[in-house]
Amino acid sequence: MRHLFYKFLMLFISALIFSQIQAQEYPHVDNKIHSAFLLNKWQENKPNLIAFTDPRCPYCIKALAQRERLTNYNVYLFWAPILGDASQQTVERFFFCDSPTSPDVIEAVINRKKPACAGPEKQVLRHLNDHMIQQYAPNSVPQYWYGDRRVALSQLNLVRSIKQQIQTMAQNSLLKVPWERYNSKAVNIANIALTNIGLVIPQDTEVSIELIHMMVQDKRFNWYIFQNSTPSSKENTEFRMLTNLESSSEATFVLEGKILSKSEVHSVFNKELVGLLSGS
């Protein structure tokens, strides 16, 4: 009986402590007060995300180098020097900069260098940073908070890289294209490890040297060009029929077997290449 009593007591105490932790309220960020800690330009239509980082933490440095993944959020970065005196001294330097999360500071952290900042010390910003550290008390970094809830990167709406977007588009191809049949239309020597992409262009579109050069330099794809010419080659006719682009009057990209929309084209290719196709 005594054993059961102590077991029940421990469960009760644990539940009480957990409920207190859950009920704890954390300070929220306010752009009027914490704007100096923003990693990117504040946007009203995006939710806020709080990040805690130690400048000497290798995982934090990697996360900062990939910070574009967090651009779906207004990211407020606070420095949590939990790895000892060296981290503390490094963080102290940041508050002699105009902003403790300026591009110069972030690049210095990524490259493991000291930022070139000259005083005076921004004591108000230092106080704001220390207050957030005291209230959230992060014991590991990098650490992310959404509202009053600590979250993992896997729980966030991360921006996908262009490579990931291309892979998803290729996987969504409903049409299986026998690209080996179109070697005569290849711009570069095909590599089986690369994604295949065909460019179908109307007869009056110029295939410039600049366009060919840009394709050759883009090492992500095996490039093929199909032009509506008169008389048309067997490969041109077959590919346009296969992709249902016989009557296409504008340049069209076919990624593996997927015809890309205009928004997909602009998300994958640079403006120069798209500009060459549109004649601008």
pLDDT, residue 241, reads 92
Tokens read off for 39? 């990693």
pLDDT-wise least confident of 23-37, 103-117, 217-231: 217-231
Q: Which sign, positive or negative, has the C-alpha torsion 265, 271, 276, 280?
A: positive
| Contact predicate 80/143, CB 8 Å | yes
Q: How many residues does the chain have?
A: 280
Residue 102 has pLDDT above 90, yes or no: yes
Mean pLDDT across 35-47 = 93
pLDDT, residue 79, reads 98
pLDDT, residue 11, reads 53
pLDDT-wise least confident of 14-18, 64-68, 135-139: 14-18
Domains and CATH numbers, the chain: 24-155 (3.40.30.10), 162-278 (3.40.30)
Give 221 or 160, the one with higher predicted confidence: 221
Residue 15 has pLDDT above 70, yes or no: no
pTM for the model stands at 0.60
Kindly indicate the confidence band of residue 225, based on its pLDDT and cuts at 50, 70 and 90.
very high
Mean pLDDT across 200-209 = 82
pLDDT-wise least confident of 26-30, 51-55, 104-108, 225-229: 225-229
Which pairing describes strands 149-151 and 143-146: parallel, antiparallel, or unpaired?
antiparallel
How far apart CA 80 and CA 88 sit, in angstroms, is 8
13: amino acid identity, one letter: I
pLDDT, residue 118, reads 85
